[in-house]
Structure 1
Amino acid sequence: MTDDTPQTRRPLRVLAAMSGGVDSAVAAARAAEAGHDVTGVHLALSANPQSFRTGARGCCTIEDSRDARRAADVIGIPFYVWDLAERFREDVVEDFVAEYEAGRTPNPCLRCNEKIKFAALLDKALALGFDAVCTGHYAQVILREDGTRELHRASDMAKDQSYVLGVLDERQLAHAMFPLGDTVTTKEEIRAEAERRGLAVAKKPDSHDICFIADGDTQGFLSKRLGRAEGDIVDESGTKVGTHEGAFGFTIGQRKGLRIGTPAADGKPRYVLDISPVTNTVTVGPAAALDVDALTAVKPRWCGTAPSGPGTYTAQLRAHGEETEVSAELVDGALEVTFTTPVRGVAPGQAVVLYQGTRVVGSATIASTRRAVAAV
């Protein structure tokens, strides 16, 4: 919500999701300062929270819970810890493992926003009489004159997080509050604000990587869950050029860690082009073979009314990726996207998020890609 919308002109009962980091603490403080009746909540997402963090990694530990509680005390708001570990395991962790097992590359942060923060948490908040869930995401919800809501990029593009929020529908947007999204401030200024407010998390390192993989070793995590399964690495002609210990340990576009003993004929680096979980085979080839000019995406979710007919948009394919011009159309429930200029390294399982200007139109999960014809 932005400060100029009618819904923010009256005090709301707001549930502030507090991860224990600086962004969510400042967001909660701003919501309280705006006159809302704010309650802080930390989500316990692991049955063994010590395992979810090492140094600056992750965001779901006992340490984080205590940091969130201290921040709530300074702000002067009630604070609770809600146990959503089982729901998180089923909807995020198990989904993550299953997607990699199927040869796809998922985005767990996007799934957490869809299934946990703006589904399980929001549903519980509404049942308890709260009006909105507040988070430290950098994005904006704008209320139009006709009463509809739109999700827009943050004012500061450098910190924009609208890509991982593209799964939110209009009902969820109606109860979402992002107090950091409509101000252009650097992270240093957010930390300075936290320090002025007396929040001890002002100097806390940012979390990064995947919160439930404490050491950042995704392949090691998957190996423990799925077991090692030796298979072949082949080139585009099908010739074996190496072996691997599990196709799930690779993603489309990967260059490092291939451990291919046989050099390419042209001496240039090779990249992962395809992953076949059925045959446990990984195909590698030149960078040019990564170019795709179209994709099909499934399970579309719209931030408002679904578009009708073909349209021209920009698309973002990664959380910190650049926008690219596309045309897109719903065909038999799937989103068909064609790129104006071929793009490289698009992996099934990733999300494609469509934009019109700064407005998020919607999101869908990439199911397949069409390889561009490489120049000879």
Structure 2
Amino acid sequence: MRILAAMSGGVDSAVAAARAVEAGHDVVGVHLALSRAGGTLRTGSRGCCTIEDALDARRAADLLGIPFYVWDFSERFREDVIADFVSEYQAGRTPNPCMRCNEKIKFAALLDRAIELGFDAVCTGHYATLIPTDAGLELHRAADNAKDQSYVLGVLTADQLAHTYFPLGTTPSKAVVRAEAEARGLSVAQKPDSHDICFIPDGDTRGWLAEKVGTATGEVVDRSGAVVGSHEGAHAFTVGQRRGLKLGVPAADGKPRFVLEVRPVSNTVVVGPKEALATREISGGRFSWAGAAPEEAEFSCDVQIRAHSEPEPARAFVSADEVRVVPDRPLDGVAPGQTAVLYVGTRVLGQFTIDRTVSAVPVDA
């Protein structure tokens, strides 16, 4: 196959490209320039897609003896990921930019260009596996549960899965990948993993958002509507947050309070007891299936709402315009804007963006 290897500059994508070469594929390496701030350098292990990463990717490609290019996707990234991130927060939702990047950049813009240029598939260093069946390819969890990245790939469609290649999916651990990189002479063998949001490398999401959308004083209220404090911008808060709340009125029971809801139109933040974070139902209208769609409108599954959270047994209800999920036990601290990924065993069935949540604790409780 003709393979376009997406090389981030990290150890995973370098080893994935090496395995593609070793398997006999015709491989070309490409690094995506997602920022036009050309002088940007990595700080510690935060961020990715910096000039340092591009140089690391080039060195790996040279060692593997494959052609290497840098493609400027900064405009698409700004529009489809960064602008979406800002608008979601302004709407009171909690977005996952890694999901949007996979959906809009790596497996849409990049894959589309790869196919136009005659490539058969895009290779990445994601930890996930593809299993062929009579109905087509299925996306499954990786062999290493600790490194499994199937959650952030839940946005991929059947057509996209047909043109993807994940060489690391069956690898038993990240330690094996690092040892292999060392043996191959790859300089990134011990390079730290990237963390946090790549376009906010210092990790200060609140400060970054304040620069983008400004500040505006608003009220913090409890579930009854009583004012208990103030804030400088509802966009700086997300459901489940405890730190950063400036509450002038203590709770009657003396217990700490958490963000339960963000209302951007009125610039209001609603707080309450931790128990009120329990969610008995979630639903959303923006959904997709990673392969064949479910045959039944109602079925049992597992639902996962964060990249590193545990999957929870649930019942899913699918209509023409919505997916609704009722977990067997309440989920904790779910926010609109998060992505819910549905699994059947190790298989990724599909995903939806959460638009609505229903608390397991009545307002008057």
| 1:226 equivalent in alignment to 2:228 | no
Q: Deviations over 1:328-372 (max 9, x none)?
A: 111241101111111110000000000000000000000011111
Q: Which residue of 2 aligns with 1:9?
A: none
C-alpha deviation, 1:50, in angstroms: 3.5
Q: Which residue of 1 aligns with 2:141?
A: 153
Q: Deviations over 1:125-144 (max 9, x none)?
A: 00101011000100011111
Q: Which runs of 5+ in 2 are unaligned?
A: none
Q: Which residue of 1 aligns with 2:242?
A: 255
Q: Which residue of 1 aligns with 2:186?
A: 199
| 1:367 equivalent in alignment to 2:355 | yes
| 1:106 equivalent in alignment to 2:95 | yes
Q: Which residue of 2 aligns with 1:294?
A: 281
- 1:1-376 maps to which residues of 2 (within 5 A)? 12-51=1-40, 53-144=42-133, 146=134, 148-185=136-173, 187-307=174-294, 308-373=296-361
Distance 2:41 2:76 in 1: 16
Q: Deviations over 1:162-189 (max 9, x none)?
A: 000000001100011111111212x232
What amino acid maps onto 1:97 in structure 2?
V
Q: Which moved more, 1:111-120 or 1:365-374?
A: 365-374
How high is the TM-score relative to the length of structure 2? 0.97
For the residue of structure 1 that corresponds to 2:242, the secondary structure is coil
For the residue of structure 1 that corresponds to 2:188, the secondary structure is helix
Distance 1:332 1:303 in 2: 17
Distance 2:262 2:150 in 1: 29
Query: In the alignment, is the contact (CA less than 8 A) between 2:305 and 2:334 conserved in 1?
Result: yes
For the residue of structure 2 that corresponds to 1:81, the secondary structure is strand
For the residue of structure 2 that corresponds to 1:179, the secondary structure is coil
Distance 2:109 2:42 in 1: 23
Query: In the alignment, is the contact (CA less than 8 A) between 2:138 and 2:347 conserved in 1?
Result: yes
Q: Deviations over 1:208-262 (max 9, x none)?
A: 1000012110011111110111111111122222111110001001111213233
How many equivalent residue pairs?
A: 363
**Alignment identity in percent?**
63
For the residue of structure 2 that corresponds to 1:94, the secondary structure is helix
Distance 1:275 1:175 in 2: 39
What amino acid maps onto 2:321 in structure 1?
G
